[in-house]
Amino acid sequence: MSVMPTHHYPVIIIGGGQAGLSMSYCLKERGIDHLIFEKHRFAEAWRSKRWDNFCLVTPNWQCALPGFKYSGDDPNGFMKKEEIVKYIEDYVKLFNPPLREGVTVQRVRRHETGIYEISTSEGEFTAGQVVIATGGYHTATVPRMAEKFPEDIVQMHSSDYKNPAALPEGAVLVVGTGQSGCQIAEDLHLEGRKVHLCVGGAPRTARRYRGKDVVDWLHEMGYYNLPVHEHPLKERVRAKANHYVTGRDGGRDIDLRKFALEGMQLHGRLLEVRQGLLKFGTDLKQNLDNADNVADSIKNTIDKYIASRGIDVPQEERYVPVWQPPAESPDLDFAASGIRSIIWSMGFQTDYRWLEIPVFDGKGYPSHQRGVTDVPGVYFLGLPWQHTWGSGRFSGVADDARFLADCVEARHNTTKSLAGRKLNELALGS
């Protein structure tokens, strides 16, 4: 799998996750020489940045890397962490990509000749084209508010959480209710830990509805293939939180209201830590209601689709809230609550400081059209909502990789043709 470094490659891919590997597969199909730089091991985020009981929230049949669709015996199940890693390991064995692991890319810039200069921990390289496949989750977000907690409190980002036993005894404060926050809160709750959960504005979805997994319905209706420019929110959808749901134990809803009945303490957003008190927003009811409304609106969309197609499936009763929060949102005495650890589940920020090429907008997000930037020969792959909802997932990265591989091939062939002409002109001139 390792290759000896040379100074120049037609294409260099930065990032050895599913996006970078998918790009490599497509370039290999086209016979284009290339190299992948991976800072750690390939698929490192799946190996070390997921908790022990992590599993996919989309069914296994959606795992469809280029040339490597899921072929196991549980297409409607949800792969666990170890199975996801094995799936990617088997993919690497399938086509043996030119992968250099443990190589940090320190700088990428464009030479005046149009060639890209890549400085790495293993030396200097150049490339005719560069594919940035590092995804969109680089730096864990932990607010400065964390500095106000005592030093003996264990604090970590959700990407560092492994299991309840790895935390100190006592209650756990989980801040944030995106997919990771809700699933980690559930993981702790099922192990009998006292959980305080600060509920934000993330939406939720039902796991199943009217005889099918909701993902199956959305796929059938074309939602995963909807281009970002056709979405009602356009590019703004890229900043929206994903719906929380779980694939655990075969898949089910995550019902925070049910957890509350079972003893989980729900709060509004964490606003302040002051004099030993945690102060919360008054938005708990609003956030729970909004999450339920989104889940209900998805069901409405499915109902309309079923009716328009005359599909014969059973009716299903709608969800009825099983718990309502109190009118007041009292402060929480931190010491008296017994909280000994905090998990910050507030997402990530991008970090492209090493990429010294003018391809970013005013917020530091890559400016691109389906991964193609305005700078010739520079591409992005694996970004959430890069082109469709499936772009940052196993389900859609193949289409994006093939599209970019076509772009890379066209430029590669043009460059070769121009080089050939120059050689002929030099030969004739001699």
CATH topology of domain 8-138+350-428: FAD/NAD(P)-binding domain (3.50.50)
Q: 77-91, 323-337, 394-408: lowest mean pLDDT where? A: 323-337
| Tokens, residue 337 | 């609550």
Give the tens place of pLDDT for each residue, 180-189.
999 999 999 9
- Domain 8-138+350-428 and domain 142-344 have a common topology: yes
Q: Which pLDDT does position 241 carry in this prediction?
A: 85
Q: Does residue 3 carry a pLDDT above 50?
A: no
Q: Above 70 in pLDDT, residue 192?
A: yes
Q: Residue ranges per domain, the chain?
A: 8-138+350-428, 142-344
Q: pLDDT tens for residues 205-243?
A: 999 999 999 999 999 999 999 999 999 888 888 888 889
CA distances from 128 to 12, 98, 177 (A): 8, 17, 43
Question: Taking 70 as the threshold, does the pLDDT of residue 156 lie above it?
Answer: yes
pLDDT given for residue 96 in this prediction: 97
Higher pLDDT, 362 or 169: 169
pLDDT at 197 > cutoff 50: yes
- In angstroms, the first-to-last Cα distance of the chain is 43
**Total Cβ atoms within 10 A of residue 312:** 7
Residues 100-123, mean pLDDT to the nearest whole number: 96
Provide the CATH topology of domain 142-344.
FAD/NAD(P)-binding domain (3.50.50)
Whether the model pTM is above 0.85: yes
CB contact set of 269 (below 8 Å; sequence gap of 6+): 198, 199, 200, 280, 281, 283, 287
pLDDT band at 422 (very low <50, low <70, confident <90, very high): low
The token duo for 425 is 């002109």
pLDDT exceeds cutoff 60 at 285: yes
Q: CB count, 10 Å around CB of 253?
A: 17
Let me know how many helices (H) and strands (E) the chain has, helices first. 9, 22
Mean pLDDT on 304-314: 97
For the segment 319-343, the average pLDDT, to the nearest whole number, is 93
What is the reported pLDDT for 2? 46
Q: Is residue 390 scored above 70 in pLDDT? A: yes
Residue 16 Cα distances to 24, 34, 209, 331, angstroms: 9, 13, 36, 45
Rounded to the nearest integer, the mean pLDDT of the chain is: 93
pLDDT above 70 for 425: no
CA-closest candidate to residue 181, choices 58, 347, 345 = 345
Say yes or no to pLDDT of 101 above 90: yes
pLDDT computed for residue 4 by the predictor? 43
Whether residue 411 has pLDDT greater than 90: yes
The pLDDT of residue 424 is above 60: no
